[in-house]
Amino acid sequence: MTSQDIEKSSAPSQQDIKHVESLKQQALQVIQNLAADTWTDHNNGDPGITILEVLAFVITDLSHRLAYPMVDLLTPDPEGGEQPAPFFMGQQILPSNPVTLNDHRRFFMDIDGVKNADIKRRKSADGSQRASGVFDIIIDFEDYLSQASAEHRERIQSEVIAEVRRRFISQRNVNEDIGAIRIINKQPVAVAISLSLQVSADPQVVIGELLNRVQEVIAPTVRSYRYDEMQALGLSGDRIFNGPLLSQGFVLEEDVEKLSMPSSLFASDIISTLTDIAGLKTLQGFKFLSQQEGGDLLWRMDILPNSITSLDLATTYAALEVEIDGQRYDLPALDQSQLTQLIKIKTLQPGNGMPEYVEHYIDGQYRHLSQYRSLQHQLPAIYGLSEQRLNDPALSTQTAQILQLKGYLSLFDQVLADQYAQLDSLKTLLALPSDQVFARLAKNFNQMLASETMTSKDITQFWCDVKKLPITQLSQPLQDISGMGRLLGNYVSQYAQDGFQSYAEEAFGDLQLDRLKRSCEHLFARFAETTLDASLLKYRDVFSHYLSDLRRSPDALVEQPHEPLINKLVSLKQIVDLVLLLKQYSSLSKLRTGGFDYLNADPKSSHAGGLSQRIMRFLGISKSPPMPLATNNKEGFYLLESELIRFGAEQESYGVNQLYFVAPNWPTRFANDEFRNLLERQIVKDSPVYQQPNILYLNRQDMSLFERLYFSWLNAMTQLPLVSGMLSDEPEPGGMEVASELTAAQELAAGKQAQVENLSALLREFFKEGASFFNIILKTIALDQLALTLALWLDAGEVAQLATDSVENMRRSLHKILLARSAAPADASAHERVTNDLFTQILFTVCQAQLDALVKPLPIAKATIGSNFRLGYRKLHFLKPAYPTGNAVINPTAMDDAAAILGMHPMLADRPAFTLGIKQPFSI
């Protein structure tokens, strides 16, 4: 843009002149109130009034640029290679996962090969007859599959069923699952029609249209729309994107509701659609051709149970009787492929015609918003403000006077220039923030929340990222003004680069952090969301332990007395939380009540569904921690759903619509009662109202046992068999069908099902009783076997004292035996403490061994090469120990305090002793 262009764009319009005059009058009123005694000449000839008029004009130009259309304000510079600012596209932020039954139907009908689908909710198996979260899905395949070979049809149907299951599980809500997927039977229907055509009609065209209309009544399809077609219907964005986003066009919910599975077909429904076909003269006869006893049906045909109708095209075409001008017209013989071409088969086009990038929406005119022409150019030439002699080394009295005025005017100039620069940054201020720096800062904060030591490298990177925080208050240098070197002195070279940027906003200052926080809160408020108060999140208690390390770093910024570092850390953590929430909001919003995908092949790190992630993100847990939690101080929790641990519970009562949150009780914030209250309130707030949330806090040992069991269950769920078949085959309540003699594949599926049922029963028992995992797992061991196992830690006399009538009595007697080992302990409290530790370690070791037995690969009675594999889970070394190991010594020269107090087992006296030093994770 040239200077001439700028002057031309700044030429005042009549409306601008009114604005200028209004601003001038407001300013004069202020002057008259504040400087009535010292400034008496308010006429236009006064230089002060002249300057005032120029200021009013420039401010009006700023407001004029603010009034540009939003698309112009967001359009990037095409010549500067500027990329469009990142915004959420409509297809990213507006759709949801399937929620209603019609949502699920549309979602399934979007799959190639699925013509229609229905979904039915089962009643709960607890005797209450309440609706459960288990669904039976009924699939109606496309009619063309009935013409394919049996092998090809079975292969396609198997692939479609697998895709239906994958889509449902990946997008399901909590406590929703598939019971069975059934294929509805196709009942072919043929009709006999006799008709008379007009002489000028093309028989092939008329017959094609007639067959299409008959097809739409007997086997209707749902129309899919492209994005521009939805807009042409006058639908708003929230209507267009209501429900799940489909990959092959948009489907209206009302069209899905009309697509039912009727019990009868009526001739009148078909005839009424044929009367207005172009070229058709009269419809002379119509009847259904029935394969049942009783011959042809004239006006109604009943549909068989568990069936849906499809048009028998070949029979219908063969039965057509056509007459033209009183003469019979013989239709040409057509094979199946030619007949199919007469019917407009449903063809789904890939994509839905939506713009994929934000620049497809932003097609405005680029405006040079930041370019500012100094108001000094607008003043009369007699002022001499633009003279080049102001740059000369020689300084006269007149030059000094001009420089004095220039310095005064430059204050106004700089404020206005910075406002113009700020206006140009609007496209980034309103856009999604870049998360590169914030992602690294989130990693540092995760270390602090996990009570981990920050290395010098971590601290250096932290301060480096802090210095790279986005600038919120922009400054730019004034251009084409003489004498700036005389005014700024040595600072002029730095000023030419970035104006007064270093003074406009201090790096990591309260002003920058406040503006960043308010900017993110504004973006977040667009989605009707608010974040939690920092005082409730208990960041201060954690970060205060890292202040000395951060301050000692040579890269640390100077801490101002009025801006404590702890306050800045808390503010920065809130900003990081907001940025990550904004970047992930499309998925957090879409799957706000989502469960996890249990078919994912990596259950170790994919066990957190949409609901869990949403709760954790709002609580400042920026990343879902992978297992295990027992061996560190990382924050997080596990969520189990009652409908996913229902397997094998047909004969027992179990909770319906129950959510079980399992959290550690030792991380710094999770050990705080106030934070626990906040966690529980957030769980209640985000959980669906019809679900009952429960939360359990476990210690390290129970958490270690739980995680091994939970991971085994997750692994078994990835191999959960699916019940599928024809709709007439009623599924078993538990999901597996029973056969008298099992094939190798059925045996394998039964083994998988049994593994899921056994592990689900243990989890149900734990949540039902709310007891220690020790009791739950010990109850799975036979009493005689448990006694033999515990005897390994006892001598002959102690074994005789061990109770064997129940698990609880056996535990009590074991504790008494261990307490009695030292008759006169020197320190009673130390004796009891060490005894309890040994007692716990013995039970823990027994439970770990039992878990190994419970989740070991299942044996295979009849092995078939290439089709069998053992069902188990790949052992993960980190799931077994309860604590990280600090040190271990074999054959110690002296016994430790515990051995001195309790004594050693006689059977182990001649064996190498093994001393294990347990290192507790650093806790603050």
Weakest mean pLDDT among 346-355, 568-577, 732-741, 779-788: 732-741
Helix, strand, coil distribution of the chain in percent, nearest 5: 50, 10, 40
Local confidence band at 358 (pLDDT 50, 70, 90 cut-offs): low
Weakest mean pLDDT among 87-101, 411-425, 904-918: 904-918
**Highest-pLDDT range among 145-154, 167-176, 297-306, 694-703:** 167-176
Asked if residue 215 has pLDDT above 60, the reply is yes
Mean predicted confidence (pLDDT) in 37-55? 77
The region, left, alpha or beta by phi > 0 then psi within -120 to 50, assigned to residue 866 is left
Percentage of the chain surpassing pLDDT 70?
A: 83
Higher-confidence position of 893 and 227: 227
Give the integer Cα–Cα distance in Å for 638 and 698. 11
Asked if residue 606 has pLDDT above 70, the reply is yes
Q: Determine whether 876 is exposed, middle or buried from the number of CB atoms within 10 Å of its CB (0-12, 13-18, 19+).
A: middle
Higher-confidence position of 826 and 581: 581
DSSP state, 120?
Answer: E
- Tell me what pLDDT residue 584 has: 92
Give the integer Cα–Cα distance in Å for 337 and 275. 27
Q: Determine whether 432 is exposed, middle or buried from the number of CB atoms within 10 Å of its CB (0-12, 13-18, 19+).
A: middle
Local confidence band at 771 (pLDDT 50, 70, 90 cut-offs): low
Asked if residue 908 has pLDDT above 50, the reply is no
- Tell me what pLDDT residue 180 has: 92
Asked if residue 367 has pLDDT above 80, the reply is yes
Local confidence band at 469 (pLDDT 50, 70, 90 cut-offs): very high
3-state class of 400 per DSSP?
Answer: helix
DSSP 644-713: GG-TT-TTS---SSEEEEEEES-STTTT-HHHHHHHHHHHHHHS-TTSEEEEEEE-HHHHHHHHHHHHHH
- Tell me what pLDDT residue 365 has: 85
Higher-confidence position of 332 and 354: 332
Asked if residue 347 has pLDDT above 90, the reply is no
- Tell me what pLDDT residue 865 has: 54
CA distances from 67 to 15, 367, 862 (A): 13, 12, 79
Q: For the segment 617-650, what is each residue's pLDDT rounded down to a tens digit? A: 999 998 888 778 888 889 999 999 999 999 887 6
- Tell me what pLDDT residue 741 has: 55
Give the integer Cα–Cα distance in Å for 769 and 125. 20
Asked if residue 9 has pLDDT above 70, the reply is no
Local confidence band at 11 (pLDDT 50, 70, 90 cut-offs): very low
Are 128 and 122 in contact, with CB atoms under 8 Å apart? Answer: no
Local confidence band at 48 (pLDDT 50, 70, 90 cut-offs): confident
Local confidence band at 300 (pLDDT 50, 70, 90 cut-offs): confident
Asked if residue 240 has pLDDT above 80, the reply is yes
DSSP 723-738: EEEETTSPPPTTS---
Give the integer Cα–Cα distance in Å for 162 and 157. 9
Percentage of the chain surpassing pLDDT 90?
A: 27
Give the integer Cα–Cα distance in Å for 180 and 728. 12
Q: Outline where 475-533 has alpha helix (H).
A: 484-488, 492-498, 501-504, 510-525
Local confidence band at 577 (pLDDT 50, 70, 90 cut-offs): very high
Asked if residue 16 has pLDDT above 60, the reply is no
Mean predicted confidence (pLDDT) in 752-767? 88
Amino acid code (one letter) for 514: D
- Tell me what pLDDT residue 551 has: 93
Asked if residue 35 has pLDDT above 90, the reply is no
What count of residues does the chain have?
Answer: 924
Local confidence band at 559 (pLDDT 50, 70, 90 cut-offs): confident
Give the integer Cα–Cα distance in Å for 651 and 772. 24
Weakest mean pLDDT among 40-44, 260-264, 358-362, 661-665: 358-362
Weakest mean pLDDT among 176-180, 235-239, 567-571, 827-831: 827-831
DSSP run (H or E) holding 568: helix 565-583
Local confidence band at 692 (pLDDT 50, 70, 90 cut-offs): very high
Q: How many helices (DSSP H) and strands (DSSP E) are in the chain?
A: 37, 16
Are 757 and 854 in contact, with CB atoms under 8 Å apart? Answer: no
- Tell me what pLDDT residue 592 has: 93
Mean predicted confidence (pLDDT) in 296-310? 83
Weakest mean pLDDT among 44-53, 311-320, 503-512, 614-623: 44-53
- Tell me what pLDDT residue 894 has: 36
CB count within 10 Å of CB 732 equals 12
